[in-house]
Chains A and B, each alone.
Chain A
Amino acid sequence: MTATLEPTSVAPGGPDRQDGKPAVAARLRSALRVLISPKYGPVLITLALFVLLFIVGGVRYTNFFSAQVLLNLFVDNAYLIVLAVGMTFVILTGGIDLSVGAVVALSGMIAASLLQAGWGPEVVIPLILVLTSVLGLLVGLMIHVFDVQPFIATLAAMFLARGLCYVISQSSISITDPTFVQLAVTRIPLGGGASITPSVIIAVVVVAIAVWVLHRTRFGRTVYALGGSEQSGMLMGLPVARTKVLVYVVSGFCSGLAGVLFTFYTLSGYPLTAIGTELDAIAAVVIGGTLLTGGYGFVLGSVLGVLVLGLIQTIISFEGTLSSWWTKIFIGALLLVFIILQRVLTTRRR
């Protein structure tokens, strides 16, 4: 791609297909069209933002430009990536899931208490995934059968899950199970002194599966269809009801898995963990270019959203003098910009 002053040059490897034949002007115009389309625009802007932030960090701080800083974004946010994947499914249908943070805490509590009671991790982890999926199923059914607003249904699930945490224990339970400890301390070297954790691999696998499901299966395409118009999807003979319920199962499963990954990271269960994490996940999905009204967005965009959030956090910790609350302020501002961007891109077309 020709490097010019046009903003289009920020899209190396962007998903647009370039033929290479037409004149430069025509190519620029089509690239510009991609940039302002609600499908690719926001995600490309997020990519540009990520690159920009990374360069800014590298210029300002020594030791910033390293593979490990980049990889640590994955290491520290593996659970958030998994959460964002589930949230992407839900938001693509035009729904929302506020329960994920509480479910992360709940699965941590279940893991810690059952491990303490002497259950093996090979039983505990599948059990957690089944339980959180079932919770997602119930939420989905509530939304579909009783036509409850997703906001309300998942809010109820959030309180339920958070409450159950306290039923299990009022205080923190530490995890001493050797498998968990092993998973927490294992570092997989990637050469050059850089390394990742098993959680990162799990997160990457989840992302890969999600990409495949969304783009290569009928279920995935129906998720997009729901976000476009539920009514149309129904009249086109698509399995609207099943899909609508299933996205909450996916989100429940991802929350459970994220909870497990989070315990690998903290080696404890605590009823107050992950408060507000659902909002981080939503922020990541929105910054990653998924429209809150559904229908447009990519899982990889959400991953990018998580990385941008992580990068902001990293920069602020490198800065040293700033309070970590500045992270929230930056994320808030960013979110605002992206939501306005969404409005602009979608209203342009009507």
Chain B
Amino acid sequence: MTDTAPVVEMRGISIEFPGVKALDGVDFRMFAGEVHSLMGENGAGKSTLIKALTGVYGIDGGTIVLGSEEVSFSGPAQAQAAGISTVYQEVNLLPNLSVAENIMLGREPRRFGSIDWRATRRRAAELLAGLNLEIDPTSLLGDHSLAVQQLVAIARAMDINARVLILDEPTSSLDADEVAELFRVIRSLKEQGVAILFVSHFLDQVYEIADRLTVLRNGRLVGEYRTEEILRIDLVQKMIGKELASLDDLEKRSRAVVEGDEDARAARFLDAEGIGRKGKVQPVDLPIAEGEVVGLAGLLGSGRTEVARLIGGIDRPDSGSIELRGDGVKLRTPRQAIAHRIAYSSENRRDEGIVGDLSVRDNIVLALQADRGWFRPIPKKRQEELAQSYIQALNIRPADPNALVRNLSGGNQQKVLLARWLAIAPRLLILDEPTRGIDIGAKAEIQKLVVNLAENGMSVLFISAELEEVLRLSHRVAVMRDRRMVADLVNDGLGVEELMALIAEGSGDEDNPGEAASASPTPPAGPAPADPEGALR
């Protein structure tokens, strides 16, 4: 297979941004009928390389050969015309238009200058059928789940008779069933001879689907490997360029805490009893002790974020009560929660977290300043000290308090967000997917930080889709399923399989096990969401 000529060959690609060399002489190639995974930490240059290939960025050096001819694209439209299609992480489609239009927009069949709607819908239906999807082409795209929208985006890509399909973090917000569905589609496209570029932070998925890997680090090429020829541990080492010992070490320390001073953690900080919200999450009990890390595990849409939002004062519970150190409190707004030193760091970093147009320093002092009240400004000097100390403590890159947060990589944005909440000295820190979509190095740093904070007496509610991570950090793990808490376990040598089984089936026979498969994220909307005719499955 390797003997055939590559479909895409990028040689010596360099791209410079003001002050940064984003890519430095990178080679990259793709073969027909192969899934190629681009690996690297955040800031390694993956996105930049993809954008160079799709014509979003111009290249400052190097050549791109497509098929047998050298090409240079001045925009996504040209790249698409040449057969390179991209499906981005945040599905870039139009929720206000029909599925058919989203697939065909810009290429609708026309008769006498008029769009032929019937032919458009027929063609869209054919493409959907080609991917084995049963979706009504006339339904509005916005009525479908993100997973379905992603598949629609792929259907759109296929209409261009794409030779090259780029999937940029397609699985980051899908649950296991949806990932399986996506992989089925990827495999069938692969058989049709499409060259697929698959970018993901999930190593399991990469090993499951990819035939070939290219590793980038700091804008440079580390190497190209066949998936079956490289061990995971070697791959991770190549990606982060340092030994992974820190992760193992962390695990031991965290375990030591679990086994060690039981009574030291006995003092309860927060005691939530029967808090729930109609249509969002069934009433749950959740005590959190001082210095305890409680993991919240479950699939996307299982209610884990909803619980966190109730405790963080983002949403109001319509049942139950919350006690802090034995005193009943009302947490109706984030402000009240903050006043009680409870901080909620959202899973939606970009929209509910950082303020992209403000500097690192401004982002860090934001919560503290809000808590003090705007009439008592934090002195410039103190702001500077705060920013500097957190930049150092959390190893934020670039170490420049005046850098705009929008220009930081995902991992560093997450650290800035953490710094913002740490600045108010919280007693309970709620972290909703703090490590999603960030590189392994930053992930390890954040995990270490969580352990350190807990050792110093802070309570942490930790949510993550990665069960290993939840198990590594948590003293206790609460498992959510179908908007209900199905287990609350002491993490005393819990295994991933055990947890997985709980997430899939619940703790007993209290409800019909057939439900397990349908735990897909129906968006946590009202009781009767306007469901689209004929959604996926």
Contacts and interface: CB of A to CB of B under 8 A. Distances in A.
A218 B108 contact: yes
B113 A217 contact: yes
B105 A238 contact: yes
Interface string A214-240: 011110011011011101111111110
Given A39-B140, A216-B115, A221 B92 contact: no
B115 A236 contact: no
Interface in A199-257: 212, 215-218, 221-222, 224-225, 227-229, 231-239
Interface string A317-350: 0000000000000000000000000000000110
Interface in B505-537: 526, 530
Contact of B530 (A225, A233, A236, A349): A349
Contact of B86 (A38, A218, A235): A235
B140 A37 contact: yes
B371 to A, nearest CB: 29
A236 B88 CA distance: 10
Contact of B97 (A212, A217, A225): A225
Contacts of A218: 106, 108, 110, 115
Interface in B104-141: 105-106, 108, 110, 113-115, 140
A216 B114 CA distance: 5
Given A221-B105, A235-B88, A212 B114 contact: yes
B357 to A, nearest CB: 14
B115 A232 contact: no
B92 A36 contact: no
B94 interface: yes
A60 interface: no
A218 B101 CA distance: 11
A33 B530 contact: yes
Interface in B56-115: 56, 75-77, 80-81, 86, 88, 92-97, 101, 105-106, 108, 110, 113-115
A36 B530 contact: yes
A217 B76 CA distance: 21
A37 B101 CA distance: 18
A79 interface: no
A38, A225, A236, most chain B CB atoms within 10 A: A236
A206 to B, nearest CB: 18
A237 B114 contact: no
B478 to A, nearest CB: 27
B106 A349 contact: no
Contacts of B115: 215-218, 221
Contacts of B530: 33, 36-37, 349
Given A218-B115, A235-B86, A349-B530, A228 B108 contact: no
A349 B115 CA distance: 29
B173 to A, nearest CB: 15
Contacts of A224: 94, 96-97
B: contact size bracket: 20 to 34
B156 interface: yes
A221 B103 CA distance: 13
A296 interface: yes
B370 to A, nearest CB: 25
B92 A296 contact: no
Nearest to A232: B92
A228 B113 contact: no
A237 B76 contact: yes
Contacts of A236: 76, 92-94, 105-106, 156
B3 to A, nearest CB: 34
A37 B143 CA distance: 10
B131 to A, nearest CB: 18
A305 interface: no
Given A39-B140, A228-B94, A228-B95, A221 B156 contact: no
Contacts of A215: 115
B142 interface: yes
Nearest to B106: A238
Contacts of A101: none
B80, B94, B106, most chain A CB atoms within 10 A: B94
Contacts of B86: 235
Contacts of B75: 237
Nearest to A92: B96
A271 interface: no
A295 interface: yes
Contacts of B526: 348
Contact of A295 (B81, B92, B94): B94
Contacts of A231: 92
A165 to B, nearest CB: 38
A222 B106 contact: yes
Interface string B140-165: 10110000000000001000000000
Given A217-B114, A349-B530, A232 B106 contact: no
A222 B526 CA distance: 32
A232 B96 contact: no
Contacts of A37: 140, 530
A36 B525 CA distance: 15
Contacts of A349: 142-143, 530
Interface string B253-292: 0000000000000000000000000000000000000000
B106 A296 contact: no
A233 B94 contact: yes
Contacts of B108: 218, 221
Nearest to B531: A33
Given A33-B530, A237-B77, A229 B94 contact: yes
A225, A235, A238, most chain B CB atoms within 10 A: A235
Interface string A10-35: 00000000000000000000000100
Nearest to A349: B142
Interface of A: 33, 36-39, 212, 215-218, 221-222, 224-225, 227-229, 231-239, 295-296, 348-349
Given A37-B530, A218-B110, 6 more contacts: A37-B140, A221-B97, A221-B115, A227-B96, A236-B106, A238-B106
Interface of B: 56, 75-77, 80-81, 86, 88, 92-97, 101, 105-106, 108, 110, 113-115, 140, 142-143, 156, 526, 530
10 nearest interchain CB pairs?
Answer: A228-B94, A237-B77, A295-B96, A232-B92, A228-B96, A216-B114, A235-B92, A237-B80, A237-B76, A216-B115
5 contacts: A39-B140, A225-B94, A228-B96, A233-B94, A349-B142
